[in-house]
Structure 1
Amino acid sequence: MPETIEFSIVVPVHDEAGNAANLAREIAAVLDGRSYEMIFVDDASRDDTRAELAALKAELPALRLVGHRKNAGQSRGVRTGVLAARAPIVGTLDGDGQNDPADLPRLYAKLTRADAPPHLGMVAGKRTKRQDSWSKRMASRLANNIRKAALKDGADDSGSGVKVFKREAFLLLPYFDHMHRFMAALMLREGYAVEFLEVNHRHRGAGRSKYTNLGRLAANMTDLFGVMWLQSRARSPGGTDEL
């Protein structure tokens, strides 16, 4: 691994045998020639996910594998990966392969461009032509509309797993389970700007979704009130000066 890493890709996975290894190879192909690392965080999978990824380490030198001892959820997986990351810029993808790694360089370029707004902390993907069932799309649309109206975060698609953000900005965010779905609002709360970019969306390969429509909607509504409370309790110092 090079001493200076410019881009860390974090992928939380749980029971993604048949998907994770293919995704790792795709990431390597897309980022070939860049100074990067990819950190797959195995959230105590019960299948062969961990073994399949471990077998790839000799083939893919940029691959790092971190394993949770107990299942802790996707948000904890993202946080574990960001804490382990060595680059100042971090990208995330869902482990099921539905996010397209080819979008990562586009989001990275938008975040790091010379004329980016001051304090731009994150560029998040907005999925187009979603390859999900009608019921899943409708439940997601309902939850997104309610959340966007309540939080005023400008995010039309908070469930998209593909994001690129500054590591230092992420580490300032309050952690809680499912916080990955509220990152735009949490970034804004800390004084960072957030932008969005349309991204590709693909069919799931092996396995099945870890969430039900009703389960996802119920969790989002519970968390929504918590994030609204966090927003109400935020106080900004307007910047700091060393005296």
Structure 2
Amino acid sequence: MSNVDKFTVVLPVYNERDNLGALFAELKRAADSTGRPWEAVFVDDCSTDDSLDVIRGLADAHGEVRYVAFAENRGQSAAFCAGFDAADSDIVVTMDADLQNDPADIPAMLELFGDECEMVIGWRSKRKDTFIKRVSSKIANSIRDAIVDDGVHDTGCSLKVMRADLLRALPRFKNMHRYFPILMKTAGARIKEVKVNHRERGGGVSKYGTLDRALAGVYDLIGVKWLITRHIGYTVKEKK
């Protein structure tokens, strides 16, 4: 198998100690079932619990596991970017570490990837979030669609499969992970969606607010809108 077949699962972690063992067991089962080489890159965002110790233990016990540990808390977007830089493959799979994303969905998403498609997005058609979180998400999506319509049902689903070189070339900024679809689309990626399983959170508590998170994204949207309208794109006809 070539490096083209290999995929890297990038998992940002902040205080997810109680979920990591079960998550990796599920991930290994799903990843091994593909028959492809793979690796998992955990990025610890300066957790204040024992998450990093658990990750170190996984890395010692499993050759597929590598990790990056931040010296200070930098946020989910920074953690994703550190994982992209560390990835040793052409394909990146992103997912959360709270057990809400189901690793069993990864094989089917990988099958779609590459078939005239550089990005596959999970669509949580039956979400298991709290009522207030679902409402705030709908508000955020409505605002986002009014300003930057990325054409997908579920921008916020962390379970995605993407081409690594396109990811590494994206402009980097705080909260950029919320805009991966429109940023990848602007970079030339063709996108497909697939319905995925969504589960209740495992251990720990949610790291995100509710309505405040929905409203805070307006500031980011202004910047994203500027980026995509000022994007320079071209097609080469011929060169020597």
What TM-score does the superposition give when structure 1 sets the normalisation length?
A: 0.92
Deviation at 1:240, TM superposition (A): 6.5
Structure-2 residue corresponding to 1:234 = 231
Alignment equivalent of 2:59, drawn from 52, 57, 60: 57
Paired residue total: 237
Contact 2:140 2:215 in 1 (8 A): no
SS at match of 1:201: coil
SS at match of 1:170: helix
Contact 1:129 1:201 in 2 (8 A): yes
Structure-2 residue corresponding to 1:93 = 95
Relative distance call for 1:82 and 1:135 in structure 2 (3 A) is same
Q: Any stretches of 5+ residues in structure 1 without a counterpart? A: none
Contact 1:6 1:88 in 2 (8 A): yes
Deviation at 1:235, TM superposition (A): 2.4
Write the distance in 1 (CA, Å) between the matches of 2:132 and 2:235. Answer: 44
Relative distance call for 1:156 and 1:17 in structure 2 (3 A) is same
Alignment equivalent of 2:208, drawn from 196, 208, 211: 211
CA RMSD for the aligned pairs?
A: 1.6
Alignment equivalent of 1:41, drawn from 40, 43, 49: 43
> Where is the helix percentage greater, Structure 1 or Structure 2?
2
Matches within 5 A, 1:1-243: 4=3, 6-32=6-32, 33-112=35-114, 116-117=115-116, 120-239=117-236, 241-243=238-240
Contact 2:109 2:194 in 1 (8 A): yes
Name the aligned partner's letter for residue 192 of structure 2: E
Write the distance in 1 (CA, Å) between the matches of 2:82 and 2:238. Answer: 31
Deviation at 1:159, TM superposition (A): 1.0
Write the distance in 2 (CA, Å) between the matches of 1:213 and 1:42. Answer: 23
Name the aligned partner's letter for residue 174 of structure 1: P
SS at match of 1:19: helix
Name the aligned partner's letter for residue 8 of structure 1: T
Deviation at 1:3, TM superposition (A): 8.7
Contact 1:148 1:155 in 2 (8 A): no
Residue-by-residue CA offset, 1:43-70 (whole Å, 9 max, x unaligned): 1000010101211223322111211111
SS at match of 2:24: helix
Relative distance call for 1:240 and 1:192 in structure 2 (3 A) is farther
Deviates more, 1:61-70 or 1:51-60: 51-60
Relative distance call for 1:240 and 1:121 in structure 2 (3 A) is farther
Name the aligned partner's letter for residue 6 of structure 2: E
Deviation at 1:169, TM superposition (A): 1.0
Name the aligned partner's letter for residue 57 of structure 1: A
Write the distance in 2 (CA, Å) between the matches of 1:240 and 1:136. Answer: 48
Name the aligned partner's letter for residue 23 of structure 1: L
Relative distance call for 1:72 and 1:239 in structure 2 (3 A) is farther
Name the aligned partner's letter for residue 20 of structure 2: A
4+ residue segments displaced more than 6 Å: none
Residue-by-residue CA offset, 1:190-242 (whole Å, 9 max, x unaligned): 12211211111011011111111123113321111111111121121124644
Write the distance in 1 (CA, Å) between the matches of 2:37 and 2:27. Answer: 13
Write the distance in 1 (CA, Å) between the matches of 2:31 and 2:237. Answer: 37
Deviation at 1:181, TM superposition (A): 0.8
Deviates more, 1:126-135 or 1:215-224: 215-224
Deviation at 1:141, TM superposition (A): 1.1
What TM-score does the superposition give when structure 2 sets the normalisation length?
A: 0.93
